[in-house]
A and B are shown apart, each in its own frame.
Chain A
Amino acid sequence: MSVLLTAVATLGAIGAGSAAILYMVGQKFKVEEDPRIQEVQDSLPAANCGGCGFPGCAAFAAACVKAETLDNLYCPVGGQATMDLVAGILGQKAPVTVKKIAVVRCSGTCENRPRTNLYDGVSNCTIASALYGGDTGCSFGCLGLGDCVDSCTFDAIHINPVTMLPEVVEDKCTACGACVKACPKDIIELRKQGPKSRRIYVSCVNEEKGGVAKKSCEVACIGCTKCQQVCPFEAITIENNLAYIIDDKCRLCRKCVPVCPTNSILELNFPPKKDKPGTQIEETATIKA
């Protein structure tokens, strides 16, 4: 019996002693953490996508607490609502940001852009683009091997098996920018989602001269400057034979869409345009699928 008691007493003493040491060490080397970090982190979507530019939600939360203003901090997944919550916790005001969405700037479907050779290598855009210009005449356009699909945490981008082009699911896209980084051809861009998801953009990144571009793809931008001339807001620039619509200047008037001779400017989610008698615009450009 006494053996048992000795054992219990000894172990108890060791336990109590260790606990005391641990407590003292814990007190002495305590890391002071702002409790707000945890609070902020709890209000974040916990997607850990890295879309904010930080390596995960915890790091973003720490950055928010540390920062003096929330001007340069934005959680693309949570959007304005989350940022307002974060601002509430920190007693600050969240800057008003515009909701963005990923757009794929290539309309080179199998029909528009015929294949000139067969690629039988690894199904990976980065590897293919390091190897050669691609299996069509256009060395700028989408390779359709799905690096963007693999990069998306939100299941918001898919390759359409008919067109072999990626398509963004509007409800799911959080504009985290993972696909933008993943695309070796820099085809995907984050643009303003626009009121009622209405947006206009040049769906082409081909920098070749008009003739060469047109030869390789039916819907390539040929840099003809017609859209630039018709734009009342100077929202269109042309560089390297390629038109680009500046998001901040574009007011979605849609004048550029029908003048494009190759239908390379896309308008999304607009109601069909009514033909007004006396106007030059006679046909509405539609997305060629």
Chain B
Amino acid sequence: MLKTFRIGGIHPKENKISAGKSIQNIEIPEQVIIPLSQHIGAPCQPIVKKGDKVKVGTKIGKSVGYVSANIHSSVSGTVLKIDKALDSSGYRRDAVFIKTEGDEWDESIDRSNNIKREFDLSSEKILSKISEAGIVGMGGATFPTHVKLTPPPGTKPEVLIINGVECEPYLTSDHALMLEKTEEILVGTTIIMKALKVDRAIIGIENNKKDVISRFRQLIKNYPNISVEELKVQYPQGGEKQLIDALIRRQVPSGALPISVGAVVQNVGSVFAIYEAVQKNKPLFERVVTVTGKDVKQPMNILARVGIPLNNLIEKTGGLPETTGKIVSGGPMMGKAIASVEIPVTKGTSGILIIPTLEAKREAMRDCIRCSKCISVCPMGLNPTLLMNLTEFEVWDRAETNHITDCIECGSCSYICPSHRPLLDYIKLGKGRVNTIIRARKN
């Protein structure tokens, strides 16, 4: 039997329409808007000003604070202004506007396509390169990678887990990347193993990506410390804690980090970015974005530079279908509906999903019938209906003792609820409040 995590989980229709499609390039527009906050943590400080000339890969935003990541220009040209622009949060935030002139890359970047396998760098040097390149978790959470790869004192990583699960329906960007950059990802994995000083790595892939699994198994002979595990298709297997449970049968305790069970998890997108940063000196300024949807003319995987408006990507796939009801940035489960197609691609944009009107409508909420489906699907073993009620009535102490802060916001509860109750919407709100209360208490 195939491995999977043990608590809860659902299996929504996969709808991987763009699976197996090769990665397409997209034209660089005349102007790009690069948000200064593309990661969890403090926004960047701009280090360019109006009129400055930048090249592809020039650092334009300096990270401030420990949890933050540098931002680099994705085009060559002139800085038009630093102003507020609408981003995927739906709020206007600081961004750098750059007028494109040609496509001149920074000299230090190795643009060749050949795979560079050898590296001779110390763990510290690797981490500083990752930090400098502004790499963040590319599965969508956008947590700065150098922070994640620096285990807190007193902990020791034992195993590196590479997340090639891509459990979100529709999305295929990781799939496409793993198919085309298999060996690069393996080299990237050895780099991270060196940085973490671990001697074992497991790549977890769901078995709806058989082509990727066989491709990895072919190449893995040269990498004795890396193994590939085929996993049963189950959402939310791409969650760190679920993946750790599925692969090494260890459960991360409530409130603890994966490192507490000796595991560090990295998304394949981040691994590829780390390969490029360490071996090719290339900072993170482009990523693979899936543009998909049932009525999209040509769903595809696009290698898009950060700062290109989402509209350009949609146009490339044949334009916005007439039936469009909702445009979601990310996957259908955890993604977020966006208010405008003018917002730019960021480091965390894994996909653009265009949902037809008929499917986009939210059903009216009805009363809870106590069927407990939400409890049985919750991968964290929580009681979503109780947590929703506690949030609604602002009973924060009980919400805390019922582990509201453990919620990974996967949305399985809202998906399964036969009464269409907005469980996750409330739990997210309650989780935020309880976290604020806990922080206030600590200070």
Name A's B-contacting residues (CB within 8 A): 116-117, 120-122, 124, 126-127, 130-135, 139, 208, 212
Contacts and interface: CB of A to CB of B under 8 A. Distances in A.
B84 A208 contact: yes
A133 B422 contact: no
Given A133-B86, A208-B92, 13 more contacts: A116-B340, A117-B339, A120-B362, A122-B365, A126-B429, A127-B422, A127-B426, A130-B428, A131-B425, A132-B91, A133-B90, A133-B91, A139-B91
Interface of A is mostly: loop
9 contacts: A120-B361, A122-B426, A126-B429, A131-B336, A132-B89, A132-B90, A133-B91, A133-B339, A212-B92
B426 A134 contact: no
Q: Nearest 8 CB-CB pairs, A to B?
A: A132-B90, A133-B90, A122-B422, A117-B339, A133-B91, A122-B425, A120-B362, A139-B91
A212 B428 CA distance: 31
A130 B429 contact: yes
Interface in B400-443: 422, 425-426, 428-429, 432
Contacts of B86: 133
A120 B355 CA distance: 14
Contacts of A121: 362, 422, 425
B208 to A, nearest CB: 30
Interface in B110-147: none
Contacts of A126: 429
A135 B432 CA distance: 22
Nearest to A135: B339
Interface in B87-116: 89-92
Contacts of B429: 124, 126-127, 130
Contact of B90 (A127, A134, A208, A212): A134
Size class of the B contact interface (CB-based, 8 Å): 10 to 19
Nearest to A133: B90
Contact of A116 (B84, B339, B425, B428): B339
Nearest to B89: A132
A241 B361 CA distance: 38
A159 to B, nearest CB: 19
Contacts of B91: 132-133, 139
A189 to B, nearest CB: 22
A276 B428 CA distance: 58
A240 to B, nearest CB: 12
A110 to B, nearest CB: 17
Contacts of B90: 131-134, 139
Nearest to A121: B425
Contact of B425 (A127, A132, A133, A139): A127
B121 to A, nearest CB: 42
A124 B86 CA distance: 22
A14 to B, nearest CB: 41
Nearest to A184: B429
A188 to B, nearest CB: 19
A231 B400 CA distance: 51
Contacts of A132: 89-91, 336-337, 339
A257 B86 CA distance: 32
B59 to A, nearest CB: 27
Contacts of A124: 425, 429
A133 B361 contact: no
A76 B89 CA distance: 38
Nearest to B428: A130
Contacts of A117: 339-340
Contacts of A208: 84, 92
B344 to A, nearest CB: 16
B324 to A, nearest CB: 12
A179 to B, nearest CB: 15
A255 to B, nearest CB: 32
Contacts of B432: 130
A133 B338 CA distance: 10
Nearest to B421: A122
A133 B92 contact: yes
A117 B432 CA distance: 25
Contacts of B336: 131-132
Contacts of B89: 132-133
A126 B432 CA distance: 11
